[in-house]
Amino acid sequence: MEPLTLHFLGTGGGRHTMCTQRRKTAGIRLEHGKTQIHIDPGPGALVHSIYAGLTPMKLDGVIVTHCHPDHYTDAEVLVEAMTGGTTKKRGVLAAAKSVLRGGDDLDPSISRYHQRLAGRVEELVPDSKFKIDEIDFKALRAVHGDGDAVIIRFDVPGVGSLAYTSDTEAYPGLGDSLKGCRLIALGTMWPRGSPLIGHMCTDDALRVIEEAKPGCAVTTHFGLKILNMDPDEEAKWLEEQSGIPVVAAVDGMTVTLGEAITVRGPRKLDEPRVIQA
């Protein structure tokens, strides 16, 4: 089995965390064999990829779930890197309709010039499907301030199904659409008792976990309010309530899915957690 690794380069979300950089907003790098894909490259994605030893020049795909700056600001420079400094028409740019064409009161966040650089452009709308190398992706409906926002579910040969909710409310049926996943990365902006329109708090995350029943869940994309309350305590509560392993992501954490799921912290002395799922 070729393992898949998720590099949580940034675990912050929302404008206040983005502007203070209390948590980085660099997004997630997916690595499977020679395939490398960057999901939601917000501010710092370029710099923190390089610091992590993940050169943007090796990217095969860039995915942007919606047109808010904590998700898209470094997308153009990553496209330039993916295309060898604009010397080769290669790679996949997959992005929500608002990112590519604008929508409501949002202008496009990736220029027509940069869209033309990619080898292929995929416009993401609910139920659209696309492929990057051996990985199959599907966009699911999100309920967010950007009406074109999407959730990403993907299937990796020999590894299984995973999902990343990005920013969304926990609408009826969301958990059902995520059933069968070994791992779900849940954008969990606020803590228990703090509902937030267009996002999930910890109570919402619990409902999704209980409905979807994944092998494990990772909470991420934290706003200041949950950071002040301690995401680790919120994740512990989620695990106690659901009976499903839950990990609160930290900047620089990696999650590797092979025969088991191995979570490693950013420091060499961090004890890895191995989850049989």
Q: Where are the domains of the chain?
A: 4-275
Q: What is the pLDDT of residue 104?
A: 84
- What does the pLDDT read at residue 268? 87
- Give whole-number Cα distances, 239 to 31, 214, 219, 226, 244, in Å: 27, 12, 11, 17, 5
- CATH number for 4-275 (one of 3.40.50.800, 3.30.465.10, 3.10.450.50, 3.60.15.10): it is 3.60.15.10
In this predicted structure, what is the pLDDT of residue 94?
98
Model pLDDT, residue 170: 98
Confidence of residue 49 (pLDDT cuts 50, 70, 90): very high
Give pLDDT, residue 265: 96
pLDDT score for 267: 92
**Residue type (1 letter), 7:** H
Helix (H) or strand (E) holding 76: helix 75-82
- Kindly report, residue by residue over 189-230, the tens digit of the pLDDT: 999 999 999 999 999 999 999 999 999 999 999 999 999 999
Measure the CA–CA gap between 186 and 27, rounded to whole angstroms.
13
The pLDDT tens digits for 114-150 are: 999 999 999 999 999 999 999 999 999 999 999 999 9
User: Cβ of 193: how many Cβ atoms within 10 Å?
Assistant: 9
pLDDT at 249: 98
Residue 1 has pLDDT above 90, yes or no: no
